[in-house]
Structure 1
Amino acid sequence: MKEVLIEQLNERLFFEKMDNGLDVYILPKKEFFQTFAVFATKYGSVDNHFVPLGKEEPVRVPDGIAHFLEHKMFEKKTGDVLQAFTRRGASANAYTTFTRTAYLFSSADRVKENLRTLLDFVQEPYFTDQSVEKEKGIIGQEIQMYNDQPDWRAYFGTIENMYHHHPVKIDIAGTLESISRITKELLYECYRTFYHPANMAVFVAGPVDPGETLALIRENQGKKSFARPEEIRRIDPDEPEGVATKFRKMEMNVQTPKCMVGIKGRDEGKTGDEALREELAAELLLEMLFGKSSPHREGLYNEDLITDRFYFDYSRESGFAFAVIGGDTKHPDRLNERIREILFGAKAGTGLEEAGLVRIKKKKIGEFLRAFNSPEFIANQFIKYRFNGIDLFRVLPVLETIGCQDVIGAAERLISEDRITCFQIVPKG
């Protein structure tokens, strides 16, 4: 067991790599009432083309299978494992993103029992032909529900505009056609490849004893056998630099149009502090241009181009990065023009003053420190960053050193004519 002191946050993080390759992290938080644990695998919706464990030839599996597998993991021969958590007063859940799948629980007591259940159900797959067919109907309804949500369609429509071939353009749940091709055998193949302990991590945060918790996990893993770990061979798509589609419009049953501007980022394969610095600089850039205290946002509001539902987001994962800016508007074409004017003005240096950056950095530091009152935030963000080769506890020291030149550099990297797209949703007719 290794102990790492995070002086700036006055935290102690305990780490151990199990014999089977599983990375385990414990963050004791004696002042917390609840314990939060997450068991995650570096496997998400973009992992649809790979060489299965123990084989030589690559396969392309149906889109949405990672999300489908997440759903099926809760069903066992004895019933739904969620009931075991509920009986002990714990709240359990799971989620699938572009690049990872996570299973989690939070509880105030009986933590050891819940932790064993978490480890066991994730490492004991049980699929039948009948249950797989039943799940297709359930997930099919979920897909149709999201397809009817304008905000979701606007977000994924913008991503679809950006990418030519990269699977990030495909809805995490897949499509009705793609999930229809999922079989029990494919689920087991994906499970064997991506759910090996060497591709996974456990993070526990709360009022726990690090030594006892690691001993429990060590004992649990020692009773199980796994195949020899192998490097997972993912087949990356050949993705061009520029966006796939510059502009697209969709009609839906909405009263107010939506306009989203997307910026396709660059994947330069960076990790560690270098990648973190670029990510934080991009986030600060967007906050300076479109945050609630920015003059640009006030101007857009005064021009009647945006509402309170205006937002922006920057996402960076292994293999891709993008920004999305926009929301509801009565004038989608004009909003598209104004956002582009603001972006290219920033690339020329307009609106990126040191005073504004200092204010935004203080705000971001405050938000980050407040978020550390949530064990759920700590666990999920730590796993996300760890799978991307970044240390969550480096956020504050790196953030404090970012200057205007870093933000200007982010503008220069991100903002170019061939990397910007627009997706609009307008009322039918």
Structure 2
Amino acid sequence: MQTTKFEQVNETVYNETLPNGLQVYLVPKQGFSKTYAVFTTRYGSIDSHFRTRNGEEINVPDGIAHFLEHKMFEKKDRDVMHEFSKNGASCNAFTSFNRTAYLFSCTDKLDDNLNLLLDYVQEPYFTDASVEKEKGIIGQEITMYDDNPDWKVYMNLLKAMYKDYPINIEIAGTIETISHITKEYLYQCYETFYHPANMLLLVVGSFEPEAIMKLIRDNQSSKEFSPAPQITRLFPTEQPEPAQAKIEASLAVGLPKCMIGIKEREQGLTKEALLKRDLTTKLLLDIAFGTSSAVYERLYDSELITESFDFDYSSEQDYAYTIMGGDTPDPEKLVQTIQAEIEQLKQKGIDQDDFERAKRKKIGNFLRSLNSVEFIANQFTSFKFNGNDLFTVVPTLESITREDVEKRLHEHFISGQMAVSIVRSASPQE
């Protein structure tokens, strides 16, 4: 078991790669009452075109990763959620574009809950009848998302930005696509992506590292696993520019919703370069559009935005984009005003005081977040999957200069990379 100390943030990480390939990371937090465990596979909604264990090229129905996540809780002769509940634990799971995670939190019986987590995720059980039943359940979930204005404006923005890359596809799929899911498809996906060598287990909270690592070793050594498959994901080549300038939809909303997206042109960054670009862009967004910025104040005072206005930067090796927006009485004017404010900021440049203030704020917020085992549990794995450590955020932030942020201002905020999604109020006829 390896030990890595991050003195600056007073954190220690214990890690080991088991013989079956599973990466295990332990982050002890003495004095904390709650412990989180997250068992994650590098498999998400975008992974629908790949080669199976025997080398066969396959296209599976959209939404299958999310469908598989649901089905993992169903067993032949046990109720997984009930067992967690009996142990005083709260369990959950989620599917994103590029990963599926199974997790629990508890204040007691960590050993029992950890064994339960490992066992149920590594014991697939699918039947034709249960798969058919699940289609109705997930179909209701899909309908609910279709009627959610916040989700609709977000997904439409991704569809506007991305022409071919599957991030533009609904995570849960559609009622049509999930109708084609079979237990055979589920087993193929499970056998390809749920091998321990494609997974990471994180435990963070109050525990003794040696004892927990032994429990995990013993659990995994008691099971037989086939050799790890060579995972080959097959993605289309995505064009650099957005697929279209604007998408509009109509739903029941009080005020129209408007989101602006800026698609990153350069892809393929990894490790430190990816992390630095991510943090630099988030600093830029806070300086330009944060609640203490002059731009935010002008937008708010002119009643073009409400307190719902927000922004974020999502960054992975194969895709990255900025989103910003919220409720607004005049979407077109909001877009024009933000475009004008960006051009004005480019001419004026980044103020040194604004930069220093935003950087201090970012570092302070991050350090406070480390007091939350939930925050560490939710962030640690995504950093690891991109070749980085969560606990290197502070030194990376400290290394960023005003010149770095100003460079990002000019290379990221390009008008030709912008797309817009609007959801307006449905007319009575609709």
- TM-score w.r.t. length of structure 2: 0.97
The Cα of 1:267 is off from its aligned counterpart by: 4.3
Secondary structure of 1:76 counterpart? coil
Counterpart of 2:15?
A: 15
**Matched residues in 1 for 2:227 and 2:259: separation?**
46
What value does the CA root-mean-square deviation take over the aligned residues? 1.1
Secondary structure of 1:75 counterpart? coil
Letter in 1 for 2:44: G
**Matched residues in 2 for 1:343 and 1:399: separation?**
23
Counterpart of 1:31?
A: 31
**Matched residues in 1 for 2:348 and 2:150: separation?**
30
Secondary structure of 1:68 counterpart? helix
**Matched residues in 2 for 1:222 and 1:349: separation?**
61
Alpha-carbon contact 1:38-1:103 (below 8 Å) kept: yes
**Matched residues in 2 for 1:413 and 1:196: separation?**
39
The Cα of 1:31 is off from its aligned counterpart by: 1.3
Superposed counterparts of 1:89-100, under 5 Å: 89-100=88-99
Alpha-carbon contact 2:290-2:296 (below 8 Å) kept: yes
**Matched residues in 1 for 2:353 and 2:409: separation?**
17
Superposed counterparts of 1:67-86, under 5 Å: 67-86=66-85
Name segments (4+ residues, structure 1) moved above 6 Å.
none
Counterpart of 1:315?
A: 314
Superposed counterparts of 1:262-273, under 5 Å: 262-273=261-272
**Matched residues in 1 for 2:252 and 2:144: separation?**
14
- Aligned with residue 426 of structure 1, among 404, 407, 424: 424
1:55-86 Cα offsets, whole Å, 9 max, x none, are 22321111111111000000100133111000
Secondary structure of 2:164 counterpart? coil
**Matched residues in 2 for 1:284 and 1:363: separation?**
10
Alpha-carbon contact 1:289-1:351 (below 8 Å) kept: no
Alpha-carbon contact 1:162-1:244 (below 8 Å) kept: yes
Task: Kindly tell me the number of residue pairs found equivalent between the two proteins.
Answer: 427
Letter in 2 for 1:287: D
Structure 1, unmatched stretches of 5+, are: none
- TM-score w.r.t. length of structure 1: 0.98
1:192-225 Cα offsets, whole Å, 9 max, x none, are 0000101000000111111010000001100111
Counterpart of 1:371?
A: 369
The Cα of 1:417 is off from its aligned counterpart by: 2.5
Structure 2, unmatched stretches of 5+, are: none
Q: Percent identity?
A: 49
Secondary structure of 1:380 counterpart? helix
- Aligned with residue 348 of structure 2, among 325, 347, 350: 350
Secondary structure of 2:334 counterpart? helix
**Matched residues in 1 for 2:96 and 2:343: separation?**
31
The Cα of 1:349 is off from its aligned counterpart by: 4.4
Confirm or deny that 1:41 pairs with 2:41: yes
Confirm or deny that 1:117 pairs with 2:116: yes
**Matched residues in 2 for 1:142 and 1:318: separation?**
29
The Cα of 1:278 is off from its aligned counterpart by: 0.4
Secondary structure of 2:396 counterpart? helix
**Matched residues in 2 for 1:266 and 1:114: separation?**
44
Superposed counterparts of 1:42-57, under 5 Å: 42-53=42-53, 55-57=54-56
The Cα of 1:351 is off from its aligned counterpart by: 5.1
Alpha-carbon contact 1:354-1:403 (below 8 Å) kept: no
Counterpart of 1:332?
A: 331
